[in-house]
Structure 1
Amino acid sequence: MPTKPAIKQGESMDEKEIIYLEGDTEISEVVEKLRQHEKKPLMLVVPKGALLLQSIVNLKILKNEAAKNQLTLALVTTDKVGQHLASQVGVPVYEDLKAPHPTFVPEKIPPPVEETIELDLTAREKDEEPEVPVHHYQISTQKPLEAEPPSRPLIKPKRSKKRLIFVFILFLIMALAVILFVPSAKITLAIKSEPLDEKLQIRVDTQVSDNDFSTALLKGKAVEKELEKDSEFKTTGKKEVGEKAKGTLTVTNETGVDQVINEGTEFKENDSGLVFTNTTTVIVPKATLNAAGDKVSGTIKTEVAAKEGGSKYNLAVSNYSVNSLDKITAKGGPMTGGTTREVAILTKTDQDNVSQTLFDELVSQLHQEIADTEKNARVLEGAFESKIEFKEFDQKENAETSKFKLKMKVKTKGIVFEEDIYRRLIVFLMEQKLPNNKMLVLSEQDEVATQVAGLDLEKGELKLEGAVKTKMASKLDAAAIKKNLKAKSKDKAKEYLFSLGELSSFEIIAFPGNLKRLPLLSARIKLEIKTE
């Protein structure tokens, strides 16, 4: 039978699609690859002993899928079993990519050994009869008695015995493959754990060229960035303003000398303590004696106004005193015309609060931008020094306003380090602190609280303190356990697991469910270790 070369004469390797498969590639992955390729010759390079070549069913699925996608399929492998199986399902097989002809080509399936092949010889007998009868006198003309025609010969295939042996061997190989690769087991081991808390001292240095786990040293990187922003805020300060109340007071002088009441002199109402100020300078005459010899105090009227605006300064006739002059009193009123309204003002507290708010916002934004720029970098707040480069308010303190703006520029400097390497260092340092018979049990519940213990930007040094909370348990050799469990009955497997001592419980799940022994191959046993 003529064979088809792997590469036709004049045809480049690029015209064929070549896919290289791994030994453990599943049939579903290969089918998906076939569906993704165009209608062109396709060669699958399969390593010796690959799972794909151990089942004739897999090869039939490949052939059917290639036919659906109109692909010309061929295999390249040195696996003898795979070569025979592929030839059985009709897939050409090459020893290597440079082979001009396939090692195995699709074979036609011969008829079963037991099947007989009938040959019709009557036509041949008729063809041999002469067209014109010839009479020979030397031969008797007596017709012989007709004998029964011989039975049709049974012709058996010549290779039937060899094929039977091949089928038997193939059956044994398939049975062995099923025994080795179909059974699987998942064994879950629960071991008792105990808490492990440690504090680790780590140093980050921007001057070193590499990490040194033995001395708890990490390579760091110095970073610097600045940001400017203009934001608007609302004021919180309140102030009562309005028209000032006004009135007239009669000032009395009981002294023997004239008293000068300067403009702005304060008169305090005796009951409320509200203050009014003199609007002009006046001279209060001294006290005198009348004709009867009685003392007559000197008096004068003066205009006053409330020290502040507001309706609370609208007072009835009241008595007033002058703090700076003991012998000077006043009485008068009513005080009228005072009005009150509340306004928002920009206070010093407002300025201080928004300055801190905007500063914190800019620092946080700067740290985030550094984290986005420096991929996988650990950005700790304490590993940076930030300061205000520029700050300006658009309005002054005590200005009557409900809104105001603040423009600020902030600059930050600090040290960062790689997060992944930091975590690996933590695990390394924790393992160094374990006893020889213990192992570290890591989980999502582990805690690593990192604090900055010191920062020196001039030297490029950062000191860290990591408080680690995790667990440890007795050390188990997973490979040795799987090796000792393979091919054991379930009862023997349980006895072995009980003998380990460190386990608090275990669970064995086998496939198929009625499997009495664990798989023969360690690779088919999955071991999962949990802690309690």
Structure 2
Amino acid sequence: MRKVVYIEIDEEVTAIYDRVKRAKQKDIFLVVPRKAILFQSVVNLRILKSKLEKDNKKLHLVTTDRIGIHLAQQADIPVYHNIEVEEIKAPDQDTPKMRIEPIQARRNEILKDIPKRVMEKKITIGELIREYRDSKKKSKKGGSTELAGVYNYVRPNRRFLGFILAISLVLFLIITYIALPGATVYVKPKFDNIEYTVNITLADKRKNQTLLSRNEPHVVASEEIMTVTKQTKIFNTTSKLFDGVNAQGFIAIINNSDDEWPLKKETRFQTDDGLIFRIKEGVFVPPKTVNEAGVEVPGTYTAAVEADPFDIYDHPIGERGNIGPGKFIIPGLSEFNRKLLWGESSGSMEGGITRYQQVVQKEDIEAAKKQIEDNLTLMAREDLSTHIDEMNRLNHTNLVLLDDSRYLKTKLQELRISDDLEGSLRDKFEIFAQIEAKGIAYDFDQLFSILKKELKTRTHPDMQIRDESIQPESVSFEAVSEDEVLGQVKITATIKGIQEYVIDSSLQAGLRFSNKLKERIVGLTVEEAENYVGNLPEVDAVEIKLWPIWLSRIPRIADNIEVKLMEN
């Protein structure tokens, strides 16, 4: 016996179960209308099936809803398009005797028709023909005429056979035209860039065992890594001790202002090549005057000058100071005042001799110390990364160094310099230094997993993340703060990816899209269908192919339309 129950379109799973749980029948047939709430999720069907199986009942579905059929197959529930109910015959009207029978609830209870297997072998047309031919051969060989009476062969009417063949051919062509044509719609879904930022805490696993044991969602294990880096480096001496002779001569200092201009001793005068000459005594340059003809005459003063040992580029001057007549500027004046006061020489400067020695000065040592510490810091970063790579290889982990100079801490452990280095005459000198470096390494796989999970929860309901778009290179972060006591570093990590509309009909969103597309394009021309599909918000590009190739319209049967993802 089976029980047939008709379900309302808005009936919930719990209400359905309450209706059928007290039934005595083992087979429960639910007649479900299209677009019923029961078909909103495969979970509903699995819950109902599980509850009925606990009551030793088997669930069957009767529906024409495509989504319902698809979900029932996923839940492994038998599904039928229709169900036959046995006919209830009314009593004969002419029977004078009143027949009183108990009323049976035939709407919800009918006998189950169990299909029976036919054990007799079916005889095909080919077997009949072979049997006839074999019997004919036997009759010829044996001369018996008994079979002639059994098989009364009548020659078929050729016109009738031709008519049957023509009708069959027409029916075949009609069926072929309606049922066989197919269309494949290749769709390239629209995509969009998506990124999401998550606040992450890097917790030192030695100081935060309790916190890490709670599996907090945004906490990543980290640990402090330490290395010792050392280097011996040779530096070139840059300081020079001038041991030559400075060139000397005379220049005329010209004052084109209305006021007397005082100049201090050692005032600089510079050539276009950067050579420096200084006056030996302080002077007062007279102002300009007006002669008898009413012409302004600049004031002049001739002063002795001597070249500096080095020019403005710190190169020795020496014999380079033996220059001819030229013009000099006073670099200590503004651009405006340089037009009022300058120097000119009418003769040559003489006596310059180039000779110098390289000497290690304090400035050389300080510059070398800074340079070797900077080099060791860079080397320490590489040493930390190398040490972490070795740990990953041995422990099968994926630790990554926190790449932020604020959290790379170095300490100078040793610096060796010769006691007699400063003031010594030498071209090169050597310095040895050793530093201790500490950095923070974190579990990148754990961080990457958290970011991917968070990103996938932020997608549009009808879209999915393109897996190949999420790569470790798409992750960036910025360190925010550090708590050295707790051993925690706060960072903001950002991950980027690409989300695209779901086309795969095996997913709920893709099935909705596929059904909507098929319903709208049946019977349209290829151009009309491509224009419609191309304007859908989910579609970036579309291509439609028909079979057979001579067709010009989309089949009118939606089941003959297949939606596929366009390959890049």
**What is the TM-score with the length of structure 2 in the denominator?**
0.37
Larger Rg computed on CA atoms = 1
**What is the TM-score with the length of structure 1 in the denominator?**
0.39
Decide which structure has greater helix share.
Answer: 2
